[in-house]
Chains A and B, each alone.
Chain A
Amino acid sequence: MFDFLTSGQYDLLGAFWVTVQLTLYSAAGALVWGLALAGMRVSPVPLMRGFGTAYVNIVRNIPLTVLIIGCSLGLNQTLGIALGGSTFKEIGFRLAVLGLAAYTGTFVCEAIRSGINTVPVGQAEAARALGLSFFQVLTLIVLPQAFRAVIAPLANVLIALTKNTTVAAAIGVAEAALLMKEMIENEADALYAVFGVIALGFVLLTLPTGLLLGWVAKRVAVKR
């Protein structure tokens, strides 16, 4: 029943490695973009607040599949944007990272913003009284405290992101979900085994993430 694993026909580890890479690149992108968005949403400039609010509310409510396929059909096939890639493999991967980061960034932003709300207002007021600028208040006083409060929610976002990478199969990125499609096409007699193996792979990827970051969250939490 599991002989498709040993036949050497499928590069299961390779496919999951692509999943991991997608996750890491997108997580990095989403963290940076989410921080920027969170900064915008709490900034004193109305235009930036407006943009941040509008972006978060629009993008997080667009289905991820629509975003990713939009990246491929719209950006690449229609507008010819290739993000510096020359083969479909590179282009697809980069577009998928772009789409995933743009989408996940909204959730990172909201998690961080909720963290900012846990920091007592007096902290920011005191910092401002010392003469720090808005940027300094945010990066030196508020964010370091806010971050420590939101490790656990960010871990949830990371786990969701790991699983969301399967959507990249829709534009042909050769990650685990695409391999599963190939296996189902060929292994009609081992359908449930194929599902089981892929599902197990994702549990093995996400379970340690949750455990580790849960532990970190406990360690660094600000006791109030």
Chain B
Amino acid sequence: MKVFKAGAAVAAAVVLSLTATACGGSKDSSAGSDAGPSGGAKDKIVIGIKFDQPGLGLKTPEGKYTGFDVDVATYVAKELGYQPDQIEFKQAVSAERENLISNGDVKLVVATYTINDKRKAKVDFAGPYFLAHQDLLVRADDTSITKAEDLNKKKLCSVTGSTSAQNIKTKLAPEADLQQLPGYSECLTGLENKSIDALTTDNSILAGYAAQEKNKGKFKLTGLKLSDEPYGIGLKKGDKDLQTKVNAALKKMVEDGSWQKAVDANLGPAGYKAEPAPQITEGS
């Protein structure tokens, strides 16, 4: 899958560089006039999400988009004056997110995007709209892991180069036998075959996998809070106006209960207890 992603990223980069001059202008002009929905039915908003994370951002084989990030994106877009049929979802793989935003290819990125300082140097964030923690997914009958130190004797799996993998290596359990694979699905295969003891990444992502129909009852989350990952909505650096509007939309989403509903619907089936909605700290 990672191969496909890398290929897609290269292809995207080539296409972007070819079309940058062609579309850049028109996109900028629509960005400038988005103060009101303007009634023009042709207006679209392009939002970057993940296509491969069940429960958060997933493109189904039928071409539909599901997940918590998708629900948040849809709600925020509605508050900005775009109906669901005016939203165009675009794949935002982790390494490409900053470029997609700064090139103007997407207006917003809602893709398990942890707010941090290095990223803030290139883009601005709204939110956070969700607080995730690094956690472990183990087989449902496994009770041998109760704290981070237990991991030193375990076989772990995570995605190549991810923050979670780096956390394990440098801080949490340097002795652990860490396998880095291109995607979480490959790790799940190993977890099921017992060649791997635990899969580690953000608990929200893990919950999405555990809640999948084909995986129900096989895996469970350990509930360890190994790190804090506040997810924000990425937007163009310096666009204070948009940032304020998105923050207001997120606030409203929490207040009218849609936020809780979205969490329960997308992440609930794994028995995952989400943190309450975090305070909005970016902007303002």
Contacts and interface: CB of A to CB of B under 8 A. Distances in A.
A169 B160 contact: yes
Interface string A144-174: 0000000000000000000000000111101
Nearest to B166: A182
A92 interface: yes
A77 B161 contact: no
Interface residues of B, number: 31
A169 B162 CA distance: 13
Contact of A189 (B121, B163, B181): B121
A66 to B, nearest CB: 8
A178 B118 CA distance: 20
A87 B180 CA distance: 12
Contacts of A191: 95, 98-99
Contacts of B95: 181, 184-185, 191
Contacts, number: 73
A117 interface: no
Interface stretch (B188-196, B244-252, B263-271): B188-196
A224 B123 CA distance: 64
A185 B179 contact: no
A208 interface: no
Contact of B118 (A77, A172, A179, A188): A188
A118 interface: no
A73 B189 contact: yes
Contacts of B43: none
Interface in A71-130: 72-73, 76-78, 80, 87-89, 92
Contacts of B160: 169-170, 172, 178, 181
Interface centre among B98, B162, B186 (most CB of A within 10 A): B186
B179 A172 contact: yes
B227 to A, nearest CB: 14
Contacts of A182: 161, 165-166
Contact of A172 (B94, B98, B122, B180): B180
B119 interface: yes
24 contacts: A65-B3, A69-B186, A76-B195, A77-B190, A87-B177, A88-B155, A88-B178, A92-B179, A169-B160, A170-B181, A171-B181, A172-B179, A172-B180, A172-B181, A178-B160, A178-B161, A178-B180, A180-B161, A182-B166, A184-B95, A185-B161, A187-B118, A188-B123, A191-B99
B182 interface: yes
A76 B162 CA distance: 22
A170 B182 contact: yes
Interface in B62-106: 94-95, 97-99
A77 B195 contact: yes
Contacts of B163: 185-186
Interface residues of A, number: 29
B2 interface: yes
A87 B2 CA distance: 23
Contacts of A187: 118
A179 B119 CA distance: 18
Contacts of A88: 155, 177-179
B277 to A, nearest CB: 25
A81 B191 CA distance: 16
Contacts of A87: 177
**Those 8 A-B pairs whose CB atoms lie nearest each other, nearest first:** A181-B161, A172-B180, A189-B121, A88-B179, A182-B161, A188-B119, A184-B95, A188-B118
Given A88-B177, A181-B161, A185-B163, 16 more contacts: A65-B3, A77-B195, A78-B193, A87-B177, A88-B155, A170-B181, A172-B160, A172-B178, A182-B161, A182-B165, A188-B118, A188-B123, A189-B98, A191-B95, A191-B98, A191-B99
Nearest to A185: B161
A181 B95 CA distance: 8
A169 B99 CA distance: 23
B105 to A, nearest CB: 15
Given A77-B195, A182-B166, A185-B162, A170 B189 contact: no
